[in-house]
Chain A
Amino acid sequence: MEYILKLLTNMFFLFSVLVLSGCAHQISLNPDTEKLQLSENKSISVVGYYISEDDIKKQVKTPGGGGDNVSYKPYKDTEAALYTVLSNKFENVYKLESLTDNTFLQDNKIEYVFIPTITTESSSDSLFTWPPTVFTFTLNCKTLNNNGDIAWNTEVKGFGKAEFDEFKNDFSLSAKRATEEAFNKLVVELEQSKL
């Protein structure tokens, strides 16, 4: 009897490990755009931004807790935040489908084009829950002028932390805190720029 019980316990443990570990859980990085700071020094320039189709579709997996991963689309999830920050600062913002469409750039009087590059890291100190407790979001923004030269370049980093009691209603909380901090830092960088 004891042997059977032990066998059943081991089988259950093995099943749990196989079923519950190594999964990729979907989260969203999009911060609440209402929480992004407004620009005080507005610019009269019209700008555009370019994110390639491959980047928009890019799905990234980074570690969560308990041996699981989290999965998300960093460019797609934060596109609205980038658009919001740029439209709070500049007169008008366009999403560019191509970097080489000079007619579109000239017709819309676009002076600067922003090209974002995003890198992310995540981790969790929990053995039992999968949402990340720590998230880092790094945003590099290269800005080209009319001649295609680099007019401005900046890198901002946001850190987000969330504990179980906080993230039980939003599994993406640490990630959203990280993106909110990074985009608010971008607002400050833009304020200090000469664009």
Chain B
Amino acid sequence: MSKERIKMKYRSSIGLIGVLFLSACTIQVPPYSADIGNVSKLKQETASPLSVGTIKSEKKLNKISLRGSPLISSVGNSYGKYIENALLQELKLAKLWSGVAKKQVTGKVIDQDIDVTGFSEGSSFIKVNFIVSEENIILFEKEIMAEHTFDSSFMGAIAIPNGQKSYVELVQKLLTNLYADEEFIASIK
């Protein structure tokens, strides 16, 4: 192998390391994975079909900074869409989703953040205002909150992917807290 080729290979390897370890490129939240505990709880509580409407989220909440790397939703172009999809997945698995059901869940993301500045522990929180309505009558409206902690590191190569992955668990906890709310359960029965 010529010296020039070795040099080029060395440079591209350094570039590759740079991409994985040092860059601040935009990354996406992993796809939502339904929590079967949540699905079982829904199945236990009701058999009435439910549809999912829009979960709004303001533009400023649609980008979370993880040590300078912007984290965006992997569904549509907003975190509201991601939460809609999470609700849809769990309702479908519980066989409670119907696109034409009169009762509908909608909402708005009030606030959220993921903090990966800590060297040993990261944290995240989310606050969503959920509404259950039926033919323009509001049956339930409440702000539901969830918090989550996860392992972090002073190395960005570990802290950033851990923060990215933590959003899935944060949304699972948000929906666990929603389904644990007695007034919510009463409104969907």
**B177 contacts which chain A residues (CB < 8 A)?**
none
Within residues 117 to 134 of chain A, which ones have a CB less than 8 A from any CB in chain B?
A: 127-130
Of the candidate stretches A78-86, A145-153, A186-194, the one touching chain B is A78-86
CB–CB A23/B157 < 8 A: yes
User: At the interface, yes or no: B40 with Cβ under 8 Å from chain A?
Assistant: yes
Complex CA gap A128/B161 in Å reads: 17
Give the residue of B13, B27, B33, B95 whose beta carbon is less than 8 angstroms from that of A77: B33
A136 part of interface (Cβ distance < 8 Å): no
Residue from B17, B34, B155 in contact with A33 in the complex, judged by beta carbons closer than 8 Å: B34
Chain A residue contacts of B155, Cβ below 8 A: 19-20, 23
Question: In the complex, what residues of A have CB within 8 A of residue B39's CB?
Answer: 83
Q: A25 touching B16 by the CB < 8 A rule?
A: no
The interface of chain B, by Cβ under 8 A from chain A, is 13, 16-17, 19-21, 27-28, 30-31, 33-37, 39-40, 89, 93, 95, 151, 153, 155, 157-158, 161-162, 165, 168
Closest CB-CB distance, B41 to chain A, in whole Å?
10
Give A65-112 interface residues, CB cut-off 8 Å to B.
77, 79-80, 83-84, 87, 94-95
A25 to B17, CA, bound (A): 15
Count of interface residues, chain A, beta-carbon cutoff 8 Å: 28
Given contacts A20-B21, A23-B157, 9 further A-B contacts (CB under 8 A): A20-B155, A23-B155, A26-B151, A27-B161, A28-B33, A79-B36, A80-B34, A95-B37, A172-B30
Asked whether A26 lies within 8 Å of B162 as measured between CB atoms, the reply is yes
Number of A-B contacts (CB under 8 A): 64
Q: Please, which residues of chain A bring their CB within 8 A of the CB of B31?
A: 30, 32
Point out the residues of chain A lying under 8 angstroms from B161, CB to CB.
25-27, 171
Asked, given contacts A164-B16, A168-B19, A170-B30, whether A80 binds B158 with beta carbons under 8 Å apart, the answer is: no
Q: When the two chains form their complex, are residues A28 and B165 in contact, meaning their CB atoms are under 8 A apart?
A: yes
Q: How far is the CB of A91 from chain B (nearest CB, A)?
A: 10
Q: How far, in angstroms, from A128 to B36 measured CA to CA in the complex? A: 37
Q: Is the CB of B20 within 8 A of A83?
A: no
Asked if residues B30 and A28 are in contact (CB atoms below 8 Å), the reply is yes
Which A residues are in CB contact (< 8 Å) with B20? 128-130, 168
**Which A residues are CB-close (under 8 A) to B37?**
95
Closest-by-CB residue of B relative to A94 is B40
**Which residues on A sit within 8 Å (CB–CB) of B16?**
128-129, 164
Across-interface contacts of A19 in B (CB, < 8 A): 155
* Cβ of A177 to closest chain B Cβ, rounded Å: 14
Q: Which residues of chain A in 18-59 are interfacial with respect to chain B, using CB atoms and an 8 Å cutoff?
A: 19-20, 23, 25-28, 30, 32-33
